[in-house]
A and B are shown apart, each in its own frame.
Chain A
C-alpha cells in the first residue's frame, strides 16, 4: 500500500508500455543526420509539445532538464542572469529546499523569505513590500506545497509581481497532473515523476516575454548531453493519462484526503496541517504528539504501508521540516501522505482504522503521558 506518491508516483501499464516503445523507436541520439535519429527527434518533439500543451506553455519555450532540481537551478540562474543590476531573490518561506538552495547560491546569499500564515498561505502584504524594492531579480512562489498541500493564491501573487515588473517563478512540481495547471507565472517548473512519469526528468516552461541568459557553458541547451527520449515519451503519456481522468480522480482523492483529515482531527493529540479546502486533492500531513517519526514510519512499513515524513529524525540533517516550522505545526511524529490514482477507499479505511492503535502503542513505548 503505497501512500508516499508525492514526487514519485508509480507508473501505470500504459506509461511503462510507452517507455518500452520509446526504447524501441527512440533509442538513438536525436541530434544526428540519419533516419533513426530523425525518428527519435520526432518522438522527442511530439512528447515535449504534448507536455507544453498540458502546461499551457509554448513548445519552443518549454525546456527539458535532467531532474526537477536541475530545472529549478537552471531557471533561477538563467532568469537571474538576465536581470543585471538586480541581485536579490524573494521567495515564500515554504518553497522547496531545492529552490532556496539554488536561490542562495545564485544570489550569493541575498535571499529574502516571506512568511506564510498558519494554513500556509503567503503573506501578500509582506510579499508586496519586499518586491517593491527595486533590487529584486525574481520572486519564487510555489503553486502548491509538496508537504502540506496548500495551494497559493497565484492570481493575487502574479498581480503584485506584474505591477512590480518582477518575473514570477512558480514551482508546480507538486500540482501538475492533479488539477488545472496554474495560469499565472512567468517561469514554471514541473516534475514528471510526480504525475506518474519516470524519474530523472524536469520541465521548465517560460513565457515568450520572460528574459533569460544561459548561466552555463552550453548556450540554449538546458539538458547538456541530451535527455532520455523514452523517458520524455513516457512522461507525456503519463500526463495525458492523468488528464483524461483528471476530474474524476481529483474528486475521488480529494474525498479520501478529507476522510483522513476528519479522522485524524478526532485522534487525541494529532495536529492536522494545511488548508482544508484550498489544497491539492491528494496530499495531507498530520503530526502526532509524543511520537517518534522514524518509529512511526518503520511501524507502518512493517504493516505494509509506505508513508512520508517531515520529522527531524527522518531527515539526514536532523532539522525539522522548514514547511512545518513555517506554519507553526508540530514537527515530530509527522506523517505525510501523497495518494496516487491507484489508492482505493479500502486502503484509506485500513489506514484510518490502524493509526489510533499505532499512535497509542508508540506513545506507550516512549513513556509519554496520557493525551486527553
Chain B
C-alpha cells in the first residue's frame, strides 16, 4: 500500500478524505496519495476547503498531472479529481 491513511484505493481510483482540513493540508494529502502510483490512476480529493478549487488544478499543472474536474457530491464536500501521468 502506497500513500497514507487518508487515501483509500478502489481499483484504479483513489479517494483522499481531506474533509475539514484547510490549505495546504488537502494538497499535501493529495501529494502523499499520488506517491508511487501508476500513471493513469485517478485520485479524487474530498474536502471542505474552498481554496482546493484553486489549488488542486494548480498542483496538477505544477507537478505534470492532469486535472479532470470537479465532481458532484451528495454531501456538503467538494470533490476534485486528477489523473496521474
Contact = CB atoms under 8 A, between A and B. Distances in A.
Contact of A289 (B51, B53, B54, B59): B59
B59 A330 contact: yes
A277 to B, nearest CB: 21
Nearest to A312: B51
Interface in A262-316: 269, 271, 287, 289-293, 311-313
A49 to B, nearest CB: 45
Nearest to B23: A332
A320 B52 CA distance: 9
A308 to B, nearest CB: 17
A369 B35 contact: yes
A367 B54 contact: no
Interface stretch (A9-17, A140-148, A321-329): A321-329
A97 to B, nearest CB: 16
Given A269-B62, A312-B22, A332 B51 contact: yes
A298 B50 CA distance: 23
Nearest to A324: B54
B31 A331 contact: no
Interface residues of B, number: 20
A319 interface: yes
B28 A290 contact: yes
Interface residues of A, number: 26
B42 to A, nearest CB: 19
B8 interface: no
Contacts of A331: 23, 51, 54-55, 58
Main secondary structure of the interface of A (DSSP, over half): loop
B27 interface: yes
Interface in B47-85: 49-51, 53-55, 57-59, 61-62
Contacts of B51: 311-312, 318-320, 331-332
A269 to B, nearest CB: 7
B18 to A, nearest CB: 13
A330 B28 contact: no
Given A320-B50, A320-B51, A325-B54, A333 B24 contact: yes
A333 B50 CA distance: 15
Given A320-B51, A332-B51, A292 B58 contact: no
A248 interface: no
Given A366-B28, A369-B31, A330 B22 contact: no
B27 A289 contact: yes
B84 to A, nearest CB: 14
B62 A289 contact: yes
A179 to B, nearest CB: 29
Interface string B13-39: 000000000111101100110010000
Given A319-B50, A328-B57, A367 B28 contact: yes
B55 A330 contact: yes
A320 to B, nearest CB: 4
B54 A330 contact: yes
A329 B50 CA distance: 14
A290 B26 CA distance: 9
18 contacts: A289-B24, A289-B59, A289-B62, A291-B24, A293-B23, A312-B22, A313-B23, A320-B50, A320-B55, A325-B53, A328-B54, A329-B58, A331-B55, A331-B58, A332-B51, A366-B28, A368-B31, A369-B35
Interface of B: 22-25, 27-28, 31-32, 35, 49-51, 53-55, 57-59, 61-62
